[in-house]
Structure 1
Amino acid sequence: MHANRTLTLDMQVLEAGAKTTADIGMITGDGRALHGHGTARRHPDDAAVPQIGDEIAIARALVELGHKLLDTAATDIGERQHRRVHLMA
């Protein structure tokens, strides 16, 4: 079976002073909402380069979202196999 699916990520990045936050949300193929959050803080001695804060905060939000996706898949597999399943990142 071959199937092509498109899932959309909704991303918001907010910079407030030395802190940048990223929130990423998505709806899984079966309609479950998942969310990842990431934060970056600039050291007071570092130059203000917003792109770097964005990259770090977004990466951390994507990592959290990825872990939640793996947990969701493990739960789905476990329900079908009637046992606890753990998927490594």
Structure 2
Amino acid sequence: MNEVKTWAVDIYIGERDGRTHAETRLRPKDVVTLTGEGSARLNPSDRDVPEIGDEIAVARALSDLAHRLLNVAAEDIEALTHKEAHLHD
């Protein structure tokens, strides 16, 4: 590997309207280029373990970010090739 690049992902977690909400921000070159969002809510019959809500909300936000990044990559490929790109997870 000749060149190593570093991209950062910031994760913000908070509570809003009885839900855990997470936002992810992708920062290649220290500029936010994409964001993802995810949320979780406690089932009233479950025990309240805040860490689990955090994990679910963050996982969903990261998944959303990953899908958005794949869409951007597909759009970039299509702009270069003028053909429909088929990217799979």
> For this structure pair, what is the TM-score category when the shorter chain's length is used for normalisation?
0.7 to 0.9
Sequence identity of aligned pairs in percent?
41
User: SS at 1:8's partner residue?
Assistant: strand
Provide Cα deviations, 1:35-79, integer angstroms capped at 9, x if missing partner.
Answer: 100010101111110110000000000000000111111111111
Matched pairs, number = 88
- Using structure 2 for the length normalisation, give the TM-score: 0.87
Question: What is aligned with 1:5?
Answer: 5
Deviating above 3 A after TM superposition, structure 1's stretches of 4 or more consecutive aligned residues are none
Alignment RMSD: 1.8
2:73 alignment counterpart? 73
Q: Distance in 1 between matches of 2:77 and 2:49?
A: 43
| Superposition TM-score, scaled by structure 1 size | 0.87
CA distance in 1, matches of 2:22, 2:28: 19
Q: 2:83 aligns to what?
A: 83
How far apart, in 2, do the equivalents of 1:22 and 1:28 lie? 20
Equivalences for residues 21-40 of structure 1 within 5 A: 21-28=21-28, 33-40=33-40
Q: Gapped runs of 5+ residues in structure 1?
A: none
Structure 2 residues without counterparts, runs of 5 or longer = none
CA offset at residue 28 of structure 1?
Answer: 4.0
Distance 2:59 2:26 in 1: 15
